[in-house]
A and B are shown apart, each in its own frame.
Chain A
Amino acid sequence: MPARKLPVNCPSCMNSLNVSELACPECGTHVSGSYPLPVLLRLNEDEQNFILQFFLSSGSLKQMASQMGISYPTVRNKLDDLIEKVRKLQSE
């Protein structure tokens, strides 16, 4: 069964989605409110995987390039673009 993706943007107006209900899988408790998604969760799956890879490589772009099979400047550019995107999301 393919992994389900967490939607982060409204399919109707493309605005950022908020979390309005959380549920406990053990006891069935439901928590309602309005909680904005953390910045990292507002990125798409590829971007989140990229950040995870960066973390697991201890921040070594060279190691990431080797693992991903792409060149160092390509990895660096992806990181720079992602940093810019996260800064924009943080300022919203």
Chain B
Amino acid sequence: MKKILFNPFERYSEIALLLFGLLATIVASLAAYYCNGRFDGIIDMHLAEEVPLSAPFVDNAINTVTLFCLLFILGVAINRKTRAIDVLNTVLIARLPIYLLPLFNISNRLKSIEDSINVAYLSELRLEVPDLIFLLVFALVSLLCLAWFAVLLYKGFKISANSKTTGHKVLFATVILLAELLSKYIHYLI
């Protein structure tokens, strides 16, 4: 079970991972549409008032392609035998934990809390205890999802490129940051 959750890349075939990753991305994009969520960066999720149907799909396409391109370039630089499909599967599967986050906004629950704390002065802030607890749970789950994303991405990339050294790890972290910056810029442009 631990292996399925944290390192499915060691066990499942590339076709199975690709199909599951694509299907999950489509379902998650639909869920984000219904929950008014936007993925405006590799590791970002924000809420909006109204989200067009195409928006989460475009967001995920940009994030997936950006991260894939940069990781693939790094993968090939480390090991010429790195396959594109393995890197693509890594990106598709690694992003799944982030897709859980918009679900906290079912019935606009999270957005209403966000609006209530978005006040001009701190003295105007009024937060009910259930809302505070909900916010804390969301914060904790967000951190866990982020960590899960990082573990999946690293494990998947390690297998795709057979990366081993500390230098590879540093480059990997640098590429993630670059991908985040690039994806934010592309989102800004569109």
Interface residues, chain A, with chain B CB atoms under 8 Å away: 65, 69-74, 76-77, 80-81
Contact = CB atoms under 8 A, between A and B. Distances in A.
Contacts, number: 31
Nearest to A62: B13
Nearest to B162: A77
Interface stretch (B4-12, B23-31, B32-40, B46-54): B4-12
**Is the interface on chain B under 10, 10 to 19, 20 to 34, or 35 or more residues?**
10 to 19
A74 B10 contact: yes
Contacts of B160: 73
Contact of B159 (A65, A69, A73): A73
A74 B10 CA distance: 6
Contacts of A77: 159, 162
Contact of A69 (B11, B81, B83, B86): B11
Contacts of B162: 73, 76-77, 80-81
Given A77-B159, A77-B162, A71 B14 contact: yes
Nearest to A66: B13
Nearest to B164: A81
A72 B13 contact: yes
Nearest to B9: A71
Interface string B146-180: 00000000000001101000000000000000000
A73 B88 CA distance: 13
A71 B13 CA distance: 5
A71 B81 contact: no
Interface in B58-113: 79, 81, 83, 86
Question: Which 7 A-B pairs rank lowest in CB-CB distance, beginning with the nearest?
Answer: A77-B162, A73-B86, A73-B159, A74-B10, A73-B160, A71-B10, A74-B159
B10 A70 contact: yes
A69 B11 CA distance: 7
Nearest to A65: B13
A65 B79 CA distance: 20
